[in-house]
Amino acid sequence: MSIDSTSPDLAAEAPATAAPERRRLTLDLDVDVCVIGAGLAGLTVALETARMGASVAVLESRHVGWNASAHHLGTVMPGYGVAVEDLIERLGVDHTRELWTLSQQGADYVRTTAGGLAGAALQATGALEVSNVDRNARSIGRLRMLRENFGARVEGWQREQVRAALKTQRYFHAVHYSDAFHIDARNYLEGLAVLARQSGVRIFEESPVVSFEASGIRKRIATASARLRAAHIVLAGNVHLGAPSPRLTATLLPVWRYAGITEPLGAGLVEAIGFPGAVMDTDGIDHFRIVEGDRLMWASPETTWAGDPARHSRAIRRRIATVFPTLGKVAVRETWCGTVGQTVHGMPQIGELQPGLWVASGFGRQGLNTTALAGQMIARGILWGDDRWRLFAPFELVWAGGNAGRVAGQLVSGWTRASAAAGGALARWRERAAMREEAREARVAAANRQMAGEGDRPLGP
Ligand SMILES: Cc1cc2nc3c(=O)[nH]c(=O)nc-3n(C[C@H](O)[C@H](O)[C@H](O)COP(=O)(O)OP(=O)(O)OC[C@H]3O[C@@H](n4cnc5c(N)ncnc54)[C@H](O)[C@@H]3O)c2cc1C
């Protein structure tokens, strides 16, 4: 991706089919909507507001897709980073159903958009949410809830079915999202940028917003080299927003999530992983899928401080070996990372903070369907006065704790992973103990039958 920083001014004058506008904003500009941030959230808002007839400028600090939005695993499914039963407990069934419908509409939006993009490589292979522990009753409850109350296309997989597909003892039952699908991260984001430009959006890169003034009818936005005036500002900068709104930035815990892709693993890979879609565990630790026939894409390690992705390649190798010992030592060809913004309540921040000032951030690990729904919600809010974004109002901006929060976040993440590992180990130990007990009872029963046949007294337990 090249950045043409020598061009003097507005790329929007270039035809839509020309090379991408990698230009700084150097002239003052007046628009209806100014979007800060060219990730999935910012580009979707920009595209949708432009399609509805607004004049739109996107200001991006670096370049399109340098962060999480072009470095995810591409799994698109309904829902949020918060379990549906937790949402129901907090909001009730009706409110949760509306949120669920929006999340499904977000996934549908990505499907339609990606379907029209040549390189987005949509694969409709489903997703499997596997449980590390044997909590079948909770899983059945969730399944029933999703199917009966929300009309979700999900089915339950029992342990035997899970283990027939995934050759590991670590997973018990699973929820299968049959209409989940996958897209190519970079191509989808680049495609969104092309669609946005074709709809008249002007995207300026290497143009960090340093401040804005949102109190008047016409808001003022400043970069180092130019000024913008706009009726609406959309803050879609995720954890890197920084100076323009330190208070909003402080409501997000930045989490660096690392991913890697292995060298080709041959036929052994499909023997170990006989499911074509994405697999993720309910503790949010591992997320993987087979790509290019016999390579494995795997995301797992997380830190709350920036780390070198190459240094996490060993951790990824270790996770693969732990979950699928039959694969042995695999070679990881490439690693990368992206920073996601985690809110304290786990739900995204979507809505109008004050007249004309909008926020779309905090999408965490599930940012594909949720950024899409945010884009639609905010565009309709701005142009049609649609106030369904208020469904997210219960999830307020809560301070994430600053540096202390990041230290705590790292500790909690380590603790969550350790306790998930301990819970999993305990569940597997219980399973082995139950199997030993069953075998012992079978032996006792066989001995009893034999002795009864011989007219002897039965054995006790
Ligand atoms: C390894 C990994 C795997 C993932 N896998 C999945 C998955 O399979 N499915 C899924 O749904 N989600 C997944 N996610 C999550 C998803 O990628 C994110 O939730 C989503 O990309 C967030 O998009 P965003 O637009 O909010 O943020 P970003 O991608 O961070 O974009 C924000 C942009 O704003 C710009 N910006 C910030 N401040 C300013 C400023 N002051 N001026 C100008 N520009 C500014 C930044 O430079 C940045 O480009 C994954 C994430 C990671 C890291």
Residue 74 DSSP class: -
Please tell me if the CB atom of residue 397 comes closer than 6 angstroms to any atom of ligand 1: no
Kindly provide the b/e burial profile for residues 154-164, where b requires at least 16 CB atoms within 10 angstroms of the residue's own CB.
bebbebeebbe
**Which residue CA neighbors atom 9 of ligand 1 most closely?**
75
> In the prediction, which pLDDT does 459 show?
47
For ligand 1, atom 53: residue with the closest CA: 338
Pocket mutation for ligand 1, best pick of 109, 188, 240, 247 (most atoms within 8 Å of C-beta): 240
**Which amino acid residue places its CA nearest to atom 52 of ligand 1?**
72
Q: Which of 75, 108, 368 to mutate to test the pocket of ligand 1 (most atoms within 8 A of CB)?
A: 368
DSSP of 290-323: EETTTEEEEEEEEESS---GGGGHHHHHHHHHHH
- Chain centroid to CA 419: 22
What is residue 399's predicted lDDT score, i.e. its pLDDT? 74
Tell me the domain boundaries of the chain: 11-70+186-252+345-400
Determine the angle formed by the axes of helices 40-51 and 368-384, rounding to 10 degrees. Answer: 40
pLDDT of 412: 65
Which residue puts its alpha carbon closest to atom 37 of ligand 1? Answer: 237
How many whole angstroms separate alpha carbon 144 and alpha carbon 159?
18
Ligand 1 binding pocket includes 340 (Cβ within 6 Å)? yes
Concatenating the DSSP letter of every residue in 211-270 gives EEE-SSSSEEEEESS-EEEEEEEEE--GGG--TT-HHHHTT-EEEEEEEEEEPP-THHHH
Return the pLDDT at 4: 30
Q: Is residue 371 in contact with ligand 1, taking CB distance under 6 Å?
A: yes
36 lines ligand 1 (CB under 6 A): yes
69, 319, 359: residue to mutate for ligand 1 pocket, most atoms within 8 A of CB: 69
Do 169 and 325 form a contact (C-beta atoms < 8 A)?
Answer: no
For ligand 1, is residue 42 a contact (CB within 6 Å)? yes
C-alpha dihedral sign at 286, 347, 337, 251:
negative
Instruction: Output the CA 238–ligand 1 centroid distance in Å.
Output: 6
Rounded to whole angstroms, the Cα distance separating 330 from 244 reads 44
Ligand 1: residue of 23, 363, 369 to mutate (most ligand atoms within 8 A of CB) is: 363
CA 195 to chain centre: 22
How far apart (Å, rounded) are the C-alpha atoms in residues 402 and 294? 42
Nearest-5° Cα angle at 310, 304 to 315: 70
Residue 407's pLDDT is what? 67
User: Cα of 361 to ligand 1 centre, how many Å?
Assistant: 9
| pLDDT at residue number 411 | 64
Q: What are phi and psi of 342, to 5 degrees?
A: -105, 125
Distance 73 CA to ligand 1 centre (A): 12
Q: Which numbered atom of ligand 1 lies nearest the CA of 256?
A: 53
Angle, in degrees to the nearest 10, between helices 368-384 and 93-115 = 100
Fold for 11-70+186-252+345-400, please state it. Answer: FAD/NAD(P)-binding domain (3.50.50)
Nearest CA to ligand 1 atom 28: 39
CA of residue 392 to ligand 1 center, whole Å: 19
Q: Which residues of the chain have pLDDT under 50?
A: 1-19, 456, 458-461
Q: How far is the CA of 4 from the centre of ligand 1 (A)?
A: 23
- Ligand 1 pocket: which of 1, 22, 59, 60 to mutate (most atoms within 8 A of CB): 60
Alpha helices in 38-153 (DSSP H): 40-51, 84-91, 93-115, 136-144
Residue 220 near residue 228, CB atoms below 8 Å: yes
Angle between helical axes of 84-91 and 136-144 (0-180°, round to 10) = 60
User: Which pLDDT belongs to residue 141?
Assistant: 80
* Confidence at residue 249, expressed as pLDDT on a 0 to 100 scale: 93
3-state secondary structure of 92: coil
Helix (H, G, I), strand (E, B) or coil at 363: coil
Q: What is the CA radius of gyration of the chain?
A: 25
Token output for 253:
């815990």
Long-range CB contacts (within 8 A, 24+) of 427-436: 427/132, 427/133, 427/134, 427/172, 428/169, 428/170, 430/134, 431/134, 431/169, 431/172
Closest atom of ligand 1 to CA, residue 339: 53
Answer yes or no: is the C-beta of 365 below 6 A from any ligand 1 atom. Answer: yes
- Ligand 1, residue 63: give the atom nearest the CA: 49
Q: Give the integer Cα–Cα distance in Å for 360 and 237.
A: 8
What pLDDT score does 239 carry?
95
Of 365, 370, 378, best ligand 1 pocket probe by most atoms within 8 Å of the beta carbon: 365
